[in-house]
């Protein structure tokens, strides 16, 4: 166990396995290379808390919650960052759940006072390899995935499918 | 930054296996053709900027957490409905 400072919780104890290194940081936050992945008090959200700066923390959500059709593509240069190696090299296309259970995929949430306008970023998903405790932000070029997806609206669409 | 002058149908090579050709020029628009291995991701710079901007907005917005409570229960196979703790 390790004691960390979290913006949402103050000082808390976390398991070493919750500490994830981001060798290349997150876009715009390249100097933050170590984070803790925490359950938020409000499910289904999580916190990605910077260990470089207590005030820097991101709210995360699993894309499964609102887009069951989400899939992302990662190339071998990206997979190298999180120590995932494929025999053939090239591109890995993975669903956010099921067949790629060995990788954790999250979308960063932009929180707003009005719940309806809360958005999630599916163009720059956070991908974590729990085995190596390494993470990265993978840029998606599929035009379906944008930086702003209205979570509640897309949940409603998903529910009516 | 290295600056090179190219005409239509001329190209540059980066490393061993990336080629960028000028396919067409119309007014202030340049059409580029890019040949790169599948292990290399190619995208417009705006995509990078959009994600960076959204990250900054998200980091700033994360202070306003009251609206996270009382999120509708998650449906579907990924549901773990153990959130009956009356968060409003």
**Which position has the higher pLDDT, A32 or A159?**
A32
Bridge-based pairing state of the strands A45-50 and A34-39: antiparallel
pTM metric for this prediction: 0.84
The answer to whether the CB atoms of B38 and A147 lie below 8 A apart is no
Q: Give the chain B residue whose CA is nearest to the CA of A8.
A: B63
**Which position has the higher pLDDT, A115 or A70?**
A70
B15 touches chain A (CB under 8 A): no
Confirm if A9 and A58 have CB atoms less than 8 A apart.
Answer: no
The answer to whether the CB atoms of A75 and B40 lie below 8 A apart is yes
ipTM: 0.89
Sequence-distant contacts of A113-117: CB under 8 A, at least 24 apart: A113/B64, A113/B66, A113/B67, A114/B67, A115/A152, A115/B67, A115/B68, A115/B71, A116/A150, A116/A152, A116/A153, A117/A150
Instruction: Name the least confident of B8-12, B50-54, B57-61.
Output: B57-61
Measure the CA–CA gap between B16 and A44, rounded to whole angstroms.
46
- Using CB atoms, pick whichever of A42, A76, A91 lies closest to residue B71: A42
Ranges of H-type helices in B8-72: 45-61
**Segment 83-122 of chain A within 8 Å of chain B by CB:** 89-91, 97, 108-115, 118, 121
| pLDDT tens for each residue of A64-95 | 999 989 999 888 888 889 998 766 655 666 65
Measure the CA–CA gap between B77 and B54, rounded to whole angstroms.
29
B59 touches chain A (CB under 8 A): yes
Report the pLDDT value the prediction gives residue B80, as an integer from 0 to 100: 43
Measure the CA–CA gap between A39 and B78, rounded to whole angstroms.
16
Instruction: Name the least confident of A28-42, A59-73, B66-80.
Output: B66-80
| pLDDT tens for each residue of A136-154 | 999 999 999 999 999 999 9
Q: In A, which residues are within 8 Å of B65 by CB distance?
A: 8, 40, 42, 59, 111
Count Cβ atoms below 10 Å from residue A93 Cβ, excluding itself: 11
- Assign 3-state DSSP to chain B and report helix, strand, coil percentages, each to 5: 25, 25, 55
| pLDDT tens for each residue of B1-42 | 999 999 999 999 999 999 999 999 999 999 999 999 988 889
Report the pLDDT value the prediction gives residue A159, as an integer from 0 to 100: 65
- Using CB atoms, pick whichever of B52, B65, B78 lies closest to residue A28: B52
Instruction: Name the least confident of A96-105, A111-120, A137-146.
Output: A96-105
The answer to whether the CB atoms of A141 and B57 lie below 8 A apart is no
pLDDT exceeds cutoff 70 at A118: yes
**Which position has the higher pLDDT, B76 or B44?**
B44
CA angle at residue B55 from A135 to B43, to 5 degrees?
75
Confirm if A51 and A35 have CB atoms less than 8 A apart.
Answer: yes
Task: Please state the separation of Cα B35 from the chain's center in Å.
Answer: 19
């Amino acid at each position: 166990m390790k004691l960390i400072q979290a913006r949402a919780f103050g000082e808390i104890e976390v398991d070493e396995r919750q500490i994830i290194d981001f060798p290349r940081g997150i876009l715009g936050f390249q100097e933050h290379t170590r984070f803790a992945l925490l359950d938020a008090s409000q499910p289904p959200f999580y916190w990605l808390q910077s260990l470089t700066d207590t005030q820097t923390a991101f709210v995360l959500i699993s894309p499964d919650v609102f887009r069951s059709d989400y899939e992302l593509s990662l190339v071998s240069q990206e997979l190298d960052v999180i120590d995932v190696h494929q025999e053939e090299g090239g591109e890995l296309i993975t669903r956010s759940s099921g067949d790629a259970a060995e990788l954790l995929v999250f979308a960063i949430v932009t929180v707003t006072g009005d719940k309806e306008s809360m958005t999630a970023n599916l163009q720059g998903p956070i991908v974590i390899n729990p085995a190596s405790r390494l993470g990265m932000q993978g840029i998606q070029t599929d035009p379906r995935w944008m930086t702003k997806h209205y979570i509640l609206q897309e949940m409603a669409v998903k529910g009516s499918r | 930054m290295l600056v090179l002058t190219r005409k239509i149908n001329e190209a540059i090579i980066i490393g061993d296996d990336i080629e960028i050709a000028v396919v067409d020029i119309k007014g202030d628009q340049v059409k580029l053709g890019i040949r790169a291995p599948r292990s290399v991701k190619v995208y417009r710079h705006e995509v990078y900027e959009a994600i960076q901007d959204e990250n900054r907005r998200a980091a700033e917005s994360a202070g306003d957490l009251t609206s996270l409570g009382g999120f509708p229960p998650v449906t579907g196979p990924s549901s773990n409905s153990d959130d009956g703790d009356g968060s409003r």
